[in-house]
A and B are shown apart, each in its own frame.
Chain A
Amino acid sequence: MDGRIVDVDSVRAAVRLSGLGLSEERCLALLQTLAPMLDGIARLRDLDLQEIEPSGTPDPAGVSCDEARR
């Protein structure tokens, strides 16, 4: 398990998940079980993306965004 997620995000998770009515034990159990996937997501932190605009949808041809703006 990635130390970043256990130490920082587990605490954050407990706070967030309390909104779903879950106990801190449940939050930590989720992290224990599913941490590899969260670690996988965190791999994107290895990339330099700071100049890149995010794409909220794929919108491959730039068509649907135009529609949404109308």
Chain B
Amino acid sequence: MSGELGYLGIGELQALYRSRRVSPVEVMDAVLERQERLEPRLNAFVTVLADPARAEARAAEARFARGEASGPLEGIPVSLKDIIDMAGVRTTAASRIWKDRVPERDATVTARLKAAGAILFGKANLLEFAYGIVHPDYGQVNNPWDTSRTSGGSSSGSAASVVAGIGCGSLGTDTGGSIRIPAAYCGAVGLKPTYGRVSRRGAGNLSWSLDHVGPLTRSVDDCARVLQVVAGHDPEDATSSRAPLPDYAAGLTGDVKGVRVGIVQEHLGPDLAPDVRTAFDAAMRLCADTLHVGECSIPLIEYADSALFGICLPEATVVHERRLSAHADDYAPMTRAQLEMGALVPVTDYLRAQQFRTLLRAEVDRAFERFDILAMPTVAFPAPAEDPEFGDAEAGASEARRTGPYDVTGHPAISVPCGFTGEGLPVGLQLVAPAFREDLLLQVAYAYEQRAGWFRMRPPLD
């Protein structure tokens, strides 16, 4: 029973709550039972808030009984990547440095989830400070489809837990692909919104000009509902946008006839695993039934790795500089090395990377003059045994090669499941939209998802 309740979507649960056929208490109990049972295999959570979550569920049940439940996520179990602040609950960032850090304020996104009625039941495991490496104190999050492999990163616990039926959604962060990469490895839906669309206040700064906060869910519909709640202007985030907020879920009709999809040729390079290429090609053939699918070229993508690292390394070092001086030995060795290396990037290279960002953004925008949506595989390969180090110029760069460019430019991007390898590992399809067109991005992703049906697959955990 816990499996069935754990896999219901937000819309389904709310209908069941309103008709009093299922109670938020039953759902919360099922989610917590599932979390406890699967945790030894997944290692997806740093902190579980079982008692407060059950109390919230009882309060939600009472609101439904009185007909007073009005929040868009009323009684819906949601987790937070443990780099996003929740008042009174420790935020560890999966690091020894923050093992006892308890914030006094909610992050803006946390406050919005609470106001919408979501039940925040846990803080999900991640790579240390979202910087690409597992800290040994916290350990790797294992992939629900093959627990001998990684869930990816850095929002690893977020992706693994939602795919395992532990919560309807989780909020993650994405600096070079940290929402979309684990989404691809685990078969989740992961959306990195436009830079400025979702507030970053209280969501653990890694690299201020690359960081994005966004949802990981099992379906595009759930993704739209969570995004709706957390998106929108925040006066406490200087880079937050006042761009109008559409009704994302209302646009999910499945009708996307005539939308032009451009396959970015530079993302079909020789590093693509054959099974990934096969799944991607099949997805594009399915899309071609209703959409105009064509070839698109963004030659500057070749240099996007350089810009990603040229910006992320020094910004992360500046963010961590004081902690690094005082507690260097408490970081995982490779996190420490990457942070120290950021001090070696000449300021001229940092500024050159920012100049390149101007060029790349313009070139991607030019691609959107011919196409409404861009498409490519999310990652070149399926989940490996361990996460490639971000600082690894080959494997680390290859993992983020198709996600990082859109952190650099800030365009919104989503990963949706598009099939499996011969070994039974999920493959992700990435779609990219013009700035602030998350509505179109979700519409196309939804239409594909409903036709392909991969999102209905469940990992072999029960």
| Residue pair A40, B239 in contact (C-beta under 8 Å) | no
C-alpha spacing A70/B344, complex, angstroms: 34
| Residue pair B355, A37 in contact (C-beta under 8 Å) | no
| Residue pair A12, B346 in contact (C-beta under 8 Å) | yes
Cβ-closest chain B residue relative to A14 = B344
| Residue pair A61, B435 in contact (C-beta under 8 Å) | yes
| Residue pair A37, B341 in contact (C-beta under 8 Å) | yes
| Residue pair A52, B351 in contact (C-beta under 8 Å) | no
A35 CB to closest chain B CB (Å) equals 8
| Residue pair A57, B209 in contact (C-beta under 8 Å) | yes
B397 lies within 8 A of chain A by Cβ: yes
Q: What 1/0 flags go to B315-330 for Cβ under 8 Å of A?
A: 0000001001100100
Set A20, A27, A41: member contacting B321, Cβ < 8 A? A20
B114 lies within 8 A of chain A by Cβ: no
B260 lies within 8 A of chain A by Cβ: no
| Residue pair B196, A47 in contact (C-beta under 8 Å) | no
C-alpha spacing A34/B356, complex, angstroms: 22
C-alpha spacing A13/B394, complex, angstroms: 23
B2 lies within 8 A of chain A by Cβ: no
A17 CB to closest chain B CB (Å) equals 5
| Residue pair A58, B343 in contact (C-beta under 8 Å) | no
**Interface residue SS majority, chain A:** helix
| Residue pair B307, A44 in contact (C-beta under 8 Å) | yes
B278 CB to closest chain A CB (Å) equals 29
| Residue pair B359, A38 in contact (C-beta under 8 Å) | no
- Knowing A9-B346, A44-B352, A49-B359, say if A67 contacts B435 (CB, 8 Å): no
Give the chain A neighbours of B313 by CB distance below 8 A.
37, 41
**Interface residue SS majority, chain B:** helix
C-alpha spacing A49/B351, complex, angstroms: 10
C-alpha spacing A47/B303, complex, angstroms: 9
B366 CB to closest chain A CB (Å) equals 13
Q: What 1/0 flags go to A10-25 for Cβ under 8 Å of B?
A: 0011001101111000
Set B196, B303, B344: member contacting A31, Cβ < 8 A? B344
| Residue pair A60, B303 in contact (C-beta under 8 Å) | no
Instruction: Name which of B345, B365, B409 has the most chain A CB atoms within 10 A of its CB.
Output: B345
| Residue pair A58, B393 in contact (C-beta under 8 Å) | no
Q: What 1/0 flags go to A36-70 for Cβ under 8 Å of B?
A: 11111111110101001111111111011001100
C-alpha spacing A20/B336, complex, angstroms: 11
C-alpha spacing A21/B352, complex, angstroms: 28
Cβ-closest chain A residue relative to B358 = A55
A70 CB to closest chain B CB (Å) equals 9
C-alpha spacing A63/B346, complex, angstroms: 29
Cβ-closest chain B residue relative to A10 = B344
C-alpha spacing A45/B349, complex, angstroms: 8
C-alpha spacing A17/B342, complex, angstroms: 10
Set A12, A21, A41, A68: member contacting B310, Cβ < 8 A? A41
- Knowing A49-B359, A55-B357, A61-B436, say if A22 contacts B306 (CB, 8 Å): no
C-alpha spacing A37/B313, complex, angstroms: 10
| Residue pair B410, A37 in contact (C-beta under 8 Å) | no
Give the chain B neighbours of A20 by CB distance below 8 A.
321, 324-325, 328, 340, 343
C-alpha spacing A42/B411, complex, angstroms: 25
Instruction: List the one stretch of B5-13, B154-162, B240-248 in contact with chain A.
Output: B240-248
| Residue pair A9, B325 in contact (C-beta under 8 Å) | no
| Residue pair B306, A44 in contact (C-beta under 8 Å) | yes
| Residue pair A30, B356 in contact (C-beta under 8 Å) | no
Interface residues of B in 328-381 (CB under 8 A from A): 328, 337-338, 340-341, 343-346, 349, 351-359, 361, 365
Give the chain B neighbours of A67 by CB distance below 8 A.
238-242
B309 lies within 8 A of chain A by Cβ: yes
Q: What 1/0 flags go to B428-448 for Cβ under 8 Å of A?
A: 000000111000000000000
B408 lies within 8 A of chain A by Cβ: yes
Q: What 1/0 flags go to B192-233 for Cβ under 8 Å of A?
A: 001110000000000011100000000000000000000000
| Residue pair B357, A63 in contact (C-beta under 8 Å) | no
Chain B residues close to A by CB (< 8 Å): 194-196, 208-210, 238-243, 303, 305-307, 309-310, 313, 321, 324-325, 328, 337-338, 340-341, 343-346, 349, 351-359, 361, 365, 391-394, 397, 407-411, 434-436
Give me 14 other A-B pairs in contact (C-beta within 8 A), A37-B341, A57-B195 excluded. A12-B344, A17-B343, A17-B344, A20-B328, A30-B337, A30-B340, A34-B344, A42-B306, A49-B359, A57-B208, A57-B410, A58-B411, A61-B435, A63-B196
Q: Which 3 A-B pairs have CB atoms at the shortest separation, nearest pair first?
A: A58-B410, A54-B354, A60-B435
Jot down 18 A-B pairs with beta carbons below 8 A, ordered by A: A9-B346, A13-B343, A19-B325, A27-B340, A41-B349, A41-B353, A44-B306, A44-B349, A44-B352, A49-B355, A54-B357, A55-B361, A60-B365, A60-B410, A60-B435, A61-B196, A64-B195, A67-B242
